[in-house]
Structure 1
């Protein structure tokens, strides 16, 4: 699978709100930065993803405007826009911003080792 296919699979996995679909796409040393902090390693990342999944019901998640800044045989860097909407505590909510994902090719597969999500630039 190519880095581009991994990001498409990642988008579908996030939309499913199923950690079991997300985890195989993550490197064991993954580091994720969200608006509420930076989470390092699979256990911390799993906890924050599952917390997000539990708090947002009927979530729709999408990634668009992908820009591949770098792709080599062992690393890839992708910048993109993300959007989500869902129900939080009974109210329809939505959000979005810019993301950066860094993928590495190890053990015959591509995995996300770093993801940084933040607000759109002003």
Structure 2
């Protein structure tokens, strides 16, 4: 679904106002080290990450749409990121679950859960 592509594109702008356009007012994020329940908390988490990992590129691969209905859709995927910390290339990956809801003909992200891959 294009909604995930649009969200990834917004994330890669490193401009939270672009990301915010994709978020439901009640969006909740489960990161591996923190839960964010407001746009302000989500923004702070994103902006902190962007300040640490310079020129970060974020990708979703192996996307599996578990459900896609008229007013909600859920997918899982493997996320990949790469960028620079102190001029050195870094990269990583993990797993993600995203839930989107449709309100007023607009698809919005209401939940994202990111975690490391199992060992």
In structure 2, the residue matched to 1:86 is 83
1:32 and 2:29 are equivalent in the alignment: yes
User: Structure 1 unaligned runs (5+)?
Assistant: none
Tell me the secondary structure at the aligned position of residue 36 of structure 1. coil
Tell me the CA shift for residue 12 of structure 1: 1.2
Q: Which has the higher helix share?
A: 1
Q: Could you give the per-residue CA deviations for residues 12-57 of structure 1, whole angstroms, max 9, x where no partner exists?
A: 1112211121110011111011122110021111111111111110
Of residues 54, 60, 69, the one that matches 1:63 is: 60
In structure 2, the residue matched to 1:115 is 112
Q: What TM-score do the two structures reach when normalised by structure 1?
A: 0.91
How many residues get paired?
119
Distance 2:9 2:105 in 1: 22
1:73 and 2:61 are equivalent in the alignment: no
Tell me the CA shift for residue 91 of structure 1: 2.5
1:54 and 2:51 are equivalent in the alignment: yes
RMSD: 1.1
Tell me the secondary structure at the aligned position of residue 70 of structure 2. coil
Tell me the secondary structure at the aligned position of residue 12 of structure 2. helix
Distance 1:50 1:26 in 2: 16
Tell me the secondary structure at the aligned position of residue 114 of structure 1. strand
Distance 1:33 1:88 in 2: 24
Q: What TM-score do the two structures reach when normalised by structure 2?
A: 0.93
Tell me the secondary structure at the aligned position of residue 16 of structure 1. coil
Distance 2:117 2:32 in 1: 12
